[in-house]
Amino acid sequence: MKTTAPARKKTASAGAGGGEGSWLLKLALRSDPGLLCAVRGAVERLTESLGFTAADCRAVTRAVDEALTNIIRHAYAGAPDQLIELAFRAAQGPGDGIPGGLEIVMRDRGPAVDPEKLCGRALGDVKPGGLGLHFIRQSMDVVEFKRANGANHLRLVKYVRAPNEAVTLAKR
């Protein structure tokens, strides 16, 4: 199925400093793996509407899916009834002619995570699992993690047609 992206709208309040009204989409869901397909569908449609290429739509969708899977598996130890919140907003480009994109913030109330332990296994270590962080970092332009107000916050940013730059992992 092929869809065409609608014309992009510029919003004055979009970006990291934007207020509550700058959010394009907010989701609150239980940590039930059965709900991941609904989130994947929403992310795919949203990225298409913002003008991402098909490959970047898949990359963002995969990154969100991997992050949610990690929250369910590691923060909530597989419990299907815990709250996960996601918020999506248009992101301002970082400058130098780079267009805007999409900022995604995920929040869970699982135990605090040591950012030093957020490392995937080596790619050469062939076995199932353990590549989620690698996929997230490979797919997104910005990956930041912090703990604030009793919650884990994961911030992901993907720029439309961003140059091939290294992903940043900021520890706040």
What is the average pLDDT score of the chain?
80
Confidence label for 95 from pLDDT (cuts 50, 70 and 90):
confident
pLDDT of amino acid 163:
40
- Residue 78 has, within 13 A of its CA and on its CB side, a CA count of 0
pLDDT of amino acid 134:
84
pLDDT of amino acid 93:
82
Give per-residue pLDDT as tens, 8-37.
444 333 333 445 558 999 999 999 999 999
Token couple for 18: 């934007």
Indicate the burial class of 88 (C-beta count within 10 angstroms; 0-12, 13-18, 19 or more): buried
Domains of the chain listed by start with CATH number:
23-171 (3.30.565.10)
Partners of 154 in beta bridges? 106, 145
The letter for the amino acid at 84 is I
Token couple for 88: 């999506």
User: pTM for the whole thing?
Assistant: 0.77
Confidence label for 108 from pLDDT (cuts 50, 70 and 90):
very high
Strand extents, DSSP E, the chain: 23-30, 83-91, 101-108, 142-148, 151-159, 168-171
The pLDDT of residue 78 is above 80: yes
Confidence label for 96 from pLDDT (cuts 50, 70 and 90):
confident
Confidence label for 1 from pLDDT (cuts 50, 70 and 90):
very low
Give per-residue pLDDT as tens, 136-167.
999 999 999 999 999 999 999 999 974 444 33
Q: Exposed e or buried b for every residue in 153-169, given b needs 16+ CB within 10 A?
A: bbbbbbbbebeeeeeee
pLDDT of amino acid 124:
62
